[in-house]
Amino acid sequence: MSPDIQMFRHRFFPASFNRPKTVFTFRVLNNFLLDSLECGTSAMNYYSKLWRMTLEHWRQLKTMRWHGFGHHSDNPSTGELALFCPTCPQPGINVLFWKYTRSFVMDGNFKAEHLHPIKLFNEVWLSDGLGFMVGKDRYKMHLAEAADTVEKSSCNNHQAVNQANAARHKLESTGIGGVACVRHGCFVPHSMVDFQKGKRQATCTIPHSRVNHASLADK
């Protein structure tokens, strides 16, 4: 049986009958027919619509494949969908044993503000805690358990302290921060967090503990 007939039986329409590599499902073709008849949608506009609808999922699939999770059922664990600095020493990867030391720096951006989502049920986390950002559930649990003390400064109009104590009820996060290697500026996987009220000590302890854990694991 020819490849095109096999695809037709599985409700796939091949883009080419000679060595086809791209197929369309009958369902998407029927949907395009309705859009074209009722809305006058051209094939190019419908393609752009499909591209926008599947962009995030396609990026997620590519990320999974790039990190070796494309062809087996193992689920990635914490930070495994992000790469650490390829130049910094990593025993077993680019050095045989510990010969050099790694240096890190913690910094944040207080301009990256994020409002509370209007429809929370529409927020879908495709790689929660698997990349550079700390998992939201673990982060919220840490903030709930950590004691928050109001810092007072003897300086006049100290911006960092004032921002940490300011009330931001409309914002889900007031900035973003994390840990990066000093020499090359590459972020450490699973070490980025959202600032809730400025640069608090409780916010910075998770990235710091993650770096310590990664360094001890390499040893």
Residue 188, pLDDT > 70, answer: yes
For residues 42 and 111, membership in a common domain is answered with no
pTM: 0.61
The tally of domains found in the chain comes to 2
Residue 217, pLDDT > 60, answer: no
Residue 26, pLDDT > 60, answer: yes
Answer yes or no: is 56 within a domain: yes
For residues 214 and 108, membership in a common domain is answered with yes
Answer yes or no: is 78 within a domain: no
Mean pLDDT over 129-143 rounds to 83
- Cβ contacts of residue 59 below 8 Å, gap of 6+? none
| pLDDT score of 115 | 81
Query: Residue 161 — very low, low, confident or very high, per pLDDT cuts 50/70/90?
Result: low
Answer yes or no: is 179 within a domain: yes
Answer yes or no: is 74 within a domain: no
- Domain end, chosen from 20, 42, 66, is at 66
Answer yes or no: is 81 within a domain: no
For residues 59 and 156, membership in a common domain is answered with no
Per-residue pLDDT reduced to its tens digit, 107-122: 888 787 778 888 777 7
| pLDDT score of 42 | 93
For residues 59 and 116, membership in a common domain is answered with no
For residues 168 and 119, membership in a common domain is answered with yes
| pLDDT score of 212 | 56
For residues 116 and 178, membership in a common domain is answered with yes
For residues 116 and 165, membership in a common domain is answered with yes
Query: Residue 29 — very low, low, confident or very high, per pLDDT cuts 50/70/90?
Result: very high
Query: How much is the mean pLDDT over the chain?
Result: 79
Residue 165, pLDDT > 60, answer: no
Answer yes or no: is 157 within a domain: yes
For residues 111 and 187, membership in a common domain is answered with yes
Per-residue pLDDT reduced to its tens digit, 31-75: 999 999 999 999 999 999 999 988 888 888 888 888 888 776 678
| pLDDT score of 17 | 80
| pLDDT score of 216 | 44
| pLDDT score of 31 | 94
For residues 34 and 127, membership in a common domain is answered with no
For residues 127 and 210, membership in a common domain is answered with yes
Answer yes or no: is 191 within a domain: yes
- The residue range of the domain holding 112 is 104-218
Mean pLDDT over 77-101 rounds to 81
Answer yes or no: is 92 within a domain: no
For residues 109 and 25, membership in a common domain is answered with no
For residues 58 and 108, membership in a common domain is answered with no
Q: Which of 134-143, 157-166, 178-187, 191-200 has the highest mean pLDDT?
A: 178-187
